[in-house]
Amino acid sequence: MTTDPRIELFEGDITALEVDAIVNAANERLAPGGGVCGAIHRAAGPELAAACARLAPCATGGARATPGFKLKARFVIHAVGPVWQGGGNGEPDKLEGAYRAAMRIAADRGCRSIAFPAISTGIYGYPLAPATRIAVATVREELARPGAPERVIFACFGPDVAAAYRQALSPN
């Protein structure tokens, strides 16, 4: 499936993973929201929202880190992906920026493992296939940097997301 043994797919709940950091598909206010963001906030407990409030705002394409609180992960990295507006408003660059920022924060904090959801593909409406291609390409680039995490998991919420990542990760 993947030619890089450092990259894995996981189909299920990102909040259940035992990794150094999980990435939250956050909004600019870093406030609890729906989808994966809401699930992470519920699993981490109310301390997460309080920590996020102290760090907000975060620009689209950027990221911030908080402790994981009640999660198995030591950190939550809140990456702000773009809302899809048709692709002509810098969405690809902003999505790449969110993945790149999350990987660099993980490296700065000495994380050996990190799990990503499919940022911006839920309520933000980013089309799944191009979003997964950007995610995979950006993570592969960042894995070449010194100090990068040794293990990256793409946590897929459903078979359609897993299929898109399998396609993006295929060597063809």
Domain boundaries along the sequence of the chain: 7-169
Per-residue model confidence as pLDDT tens digits over 122-164: 999 999 999 999 999 999 999 999 999 999 999 999 999 999 9
State the pLDDT at residue 172: 66
Q: Are strands 21-26 and 7-11 parallel, antiparallel or unpaired?
A: unpaired
The CATH number fitting domain 7-169, selected from 3.40.50.300, 3.40.220.10, 2.120.10.30, 3.90.550.10 = 3.40.220.10
Q: Is the pLDDT of residue 17 over 80?
A: yes
3-state secondary structure 114-131: EEECCCCCCCCCCCHHHH
pLDDT at residue number 30: 97
Q: What is the pLDDT of residue 2?
A: 56
3 state DSSP class of 87: coil
Partners of 115 in beta bridges:
22, 153
Confidence of residue 100 (pLDDT cuts 50, 70, 90): very high
**pLDDT given for residue 3 in this prediction:** 73
Q: Which residue has the tokens 């990256």?
A: 152
pLDDT tens digits for range 48-92: 999 999 999 999 999 999 999 999 999 999 999 999 999 999 999
**pLDDT mean over 7-30:** 97
Average pLDDT for residues 109-121, to the nearest whole number?
A: 98
